[in-house]
Amino acid sequence: DAKTTQPPSMDCAEGRAANLPCNHSTISGNEYVYWYRQIHSQGPQYIIHGLKNNETNEMASLIITEDRKSSTLILPHATLRDTAVYYCIVRLTGSSNTGKLIFGQGTTLQVKP
Amino acid sequence: DAGVIQSPRHEVTEMGQEVTLRCKPISGHDYLFWYRQTMMRGLELLIYFNNNVPIDDSGMPEDRFSAKMPNASFSTLKIQPSEPRDSAVYFCASSRRHEAFFGQGTRLTVV
């Protein structure tokens, strides 16, 4: 699975959009981009995933560049409860072959009042 | 569904003892993952199964660790003998194709 690079930490003001970047320059054509987050002492929580198109759900939006070498997770209106470690993961996902789900160091997002 | 269920939530054991961690995945999920998390090493994938078959156990630290999945609704991670450096939070996760759901974890302390 391709490796990802994320900034170790970011701050965001409550109510503002949080934009978390991720570089995955060695991603291959059949690898998806996934985002998870981990709130202190809980298990990681799935947020969103995408292949090449931008995606949006009730939690966040995922913007993937056209060359697929980087992506941005957007939390449109960050709250204090969004303070967590955010992980960007690239993973082979197919109908018959699905790869490992490998977590890097992630980005610690601190939402401040 | 109650989600991924792990037991026990906390385990304190003495060095040299056998420890067994348990996981019940979400019904219908065909992938099961075991992770270990420490401050120093972060979240490490130990092993994962597909349809009860181990696919990749390259993350298992040494022979003291073993994992089984006898059926689709149950998996165990065993450490024998346990050592203080095994102290960590152990997570189990299950998924179908995309979204993986994690349990609350087992906090293991080996003294």
Window 34-53 of B: residues touching A by CB (8 A cutoff) are 35, 42-43, 45, 48, 50
Given this model, what pLDDT does residue A41 score? 81
Taking only the tens place, the pLDDT of each residue in A34-86 is 999 999 889 999 999 999 989 999 999 999 999 999 999 999 999 999 999 99
In this complex, is the C-beta atom of B33 within 8 Å of any C-beta atom belonging to chain A?
yes
pLDDT in tens, B81-96: 999 999 999 999 999 8
Q: pLDDT of B18-29, one tens digit each?
A: 999 999 999 999
Q: Is it the case that residue B97 has pLDDT exceeding 90?
A: no
Cα–Cα distance for residue pair B75/A56, rounded to 1 Å: 34
Q: Give the closest of B98, B101, B105 to A49, CB-based.
A: B98
Mean pLDDT value across residues B34-60? 94
Q: What is the pLDDT of residue A96?
A: 61
- B61: nearest Cα among B45, B48, B39, B50: B45
Closest of A69, A107, A75 to residue A88, by C-alpha:
A107
Q: Does A43 touch chain B (CB under 8 A)?
A: yes
Q: Using the predicted structure, report yes or no on whether residue A1 has a pLDDT greater than 70.
A: no
Q: What are B28's strand-pairing partners?
A: none
Dig out the tokens for B2 from the structure: 């109650």
